[in-house]
């Protein structure tokens, strides 16, 4: 990994890095998972817990949690809804849309005019295409006049899915 | 796979977080009125059956010094597979989706060296002959990590 310079970047030392590499595939399914990790990287269980807690506090770790598979749970219609909203209101609007229970991610991204006028992206998860369209209509109602155009991009095929890995 | 009420409780509860204590499974199991061994056995099955894709710390890549961006391309149908192969051949391309749209290819470039992002996009443009529309995240509004089942 490159030297860490970005101001948003928490200070991580070599032991933190080893701890990340040891846990990025998942937590051991052992009654004492942190003790198992500790043995694998040669520090104490107490230190593993202390370092994980510190990374949780600084936001390096968002949370320690289970990640469900949308498709396996019946959420087969996953739509990327994209919106053209006024820049001056985007923060307020983004927070309202992001808080909807069927929206998993909500981001601001740059427009590419004239081909791409949309600046707000909201991922919608539903069990059918009709349900996804209904949910997008709900977002449109919530936006009212601030909806200056939107589009829906259903996924047709996963071409690749590996996720980001720290290079050891 | 059929999920019973206990599976659902486990999935819902473990999306919220997991304790950093000596015996965290015992703690969660008690809250769900299960034994520690039953919780662990069910988690093993949910992971093996891919109902859960992961269980563990969720890292925020930007804070690890990494960088992400989302890129869109508009590729001719008869050229799609060739371009998909080019894009997928880059290890920095973490996800790539075909979507039903004029912009029909959407991929995420993720790297622990932020300087690589522009090089990767330039190389993809040269190799494929199509433009990359770079759409990095500028702001994030309440990313939910929970799906109620």
Q: What is the pLDDT of residues A18-33, one digit of tens each?
A: 999 899 889 999 999 9
CATH topology of domain B61-135: Alpha-Beta Plaits (3.30.70)
Nearest residue of A to residue B70 by CA position? A109
Query: Which residue of A9, A104, A166 is in closest CB contact with B144?
Result: A104
A95 touches chain B (CB under 8 A): yes
Å from A142 to nearest chain B CA? 16
Domain boundaries, chain B: 5-48, 61-135
A38: which chain B residues are within 8 Å (Cβ-Cβ)?
Answer: none
Mean pLDDT of B89-98: 92
Residue of A113, A164, A166, A168 to mutate, testing the B interface (most B Cβ within 10 Å of its Cβ)? A164
Tell me whether A72 touches chain B (CB under 8 Å): yes
ipTM reported for the complex, 2 dp: 0.75
B63: alpha, beta or left? (left if phi > 0; alpha if psi -120 to 50)? alpha
Which of A32, A57, A150, A159 is best to mutate for the B interface (most B CBs within 10 A)? A159
Query: Parallel, antiparallel, or unpaired: how do β-strands B133-135 and B67-73 relate?
Result: antiparallel
Residues 6 or more apart whose CB falls under 8 angstroms from that of A61 comprise A52, A55, B57, B58, B59, B60
Contact A153 B101 (CB under 8 A): yes
State pLDDT tens for residues A111-141: 999 999 999 999 998 999 999 999 999 999 9
Residue contact B144–A103, C-beta within 8 A = yes
CA quadruple B73, A99, B142, A131: dihedral sign: negative
Q: pLDDT tens string for chain A (168 positions)?
A: 333 444 445 678 999 989 998 998 899 999 999 999 999 999 999 999 999 999 999 999 989 999 888 778 888 888 999 999 999 999 999 999 999 988 988 999 999 999 999 999 999 989 999 999 999 999 999 999 999 999 999 988 889 876 555 554
Closest Cα of chain B to A18: distance in Å? 13
């Amino acid at each position: 990994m490159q030297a860490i310079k970005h101001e948003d970047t928490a200070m991580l030392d070599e032991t933190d890095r080893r701890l990340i590499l040891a846990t990025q595939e998942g937590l051991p399914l052992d009654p004492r998972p942190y003790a198992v990790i500790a043995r694998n990287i040669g520090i104490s269980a107490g230190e593993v817990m202390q370092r994980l807690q510190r990374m949780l506090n600084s936001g390096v770790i968002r949370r320690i949690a289970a990640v469900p598979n949308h498709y396996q749970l019946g959420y087969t219609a996953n739509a990327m809804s994209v919106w053209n909203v006024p820049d001056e209101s985007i923060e307020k609007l983004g927070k309202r849309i992001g808080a909807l229970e069927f929206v998993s991610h909500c981001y601001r991204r740059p427009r590419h005019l004239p081909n791409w006028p949309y600046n707000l992206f909201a991922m919608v998860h539903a069990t059918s295409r009709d349900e996804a369209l209904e949910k997008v209509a709900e977002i449109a109602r919530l936006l009212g006049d601030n909806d200056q155009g939107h589009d829906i991009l259903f996924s047709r095929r996963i071409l690749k899915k590996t996720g980001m890995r720290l290079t050891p | 796979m059929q999920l019973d009420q206990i599976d659902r409780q486990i999935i819902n509860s473990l999306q919220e977080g997991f304790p950093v204590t000596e015996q965290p499974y015992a703690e969660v199991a008690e809250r769900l009125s299960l034994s520690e061994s039953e919780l662990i056995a069910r988690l093993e099955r949910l992971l093996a059956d891919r109902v859960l894709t992961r269980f563990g710390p969720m890292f925020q890549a930007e804070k690890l010094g990494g960088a992400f961006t989302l890129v869109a391309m508009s590729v001719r149908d008869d050229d799609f597979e060739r371009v998909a192969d080019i894009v997928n051949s880059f290890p920095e391309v973490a996800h790539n989706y075909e979507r039903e749209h004029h912009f029909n290819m959407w991929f995420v470039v993720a790297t622990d060296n932020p300087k690589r992002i522009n090089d990767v996009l330039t190389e993809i443009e040269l190799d494929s002959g199509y433009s990359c529309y770079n759409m990095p995240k500028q702001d994030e509004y309440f990313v939910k990590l929970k799906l109620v089942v």
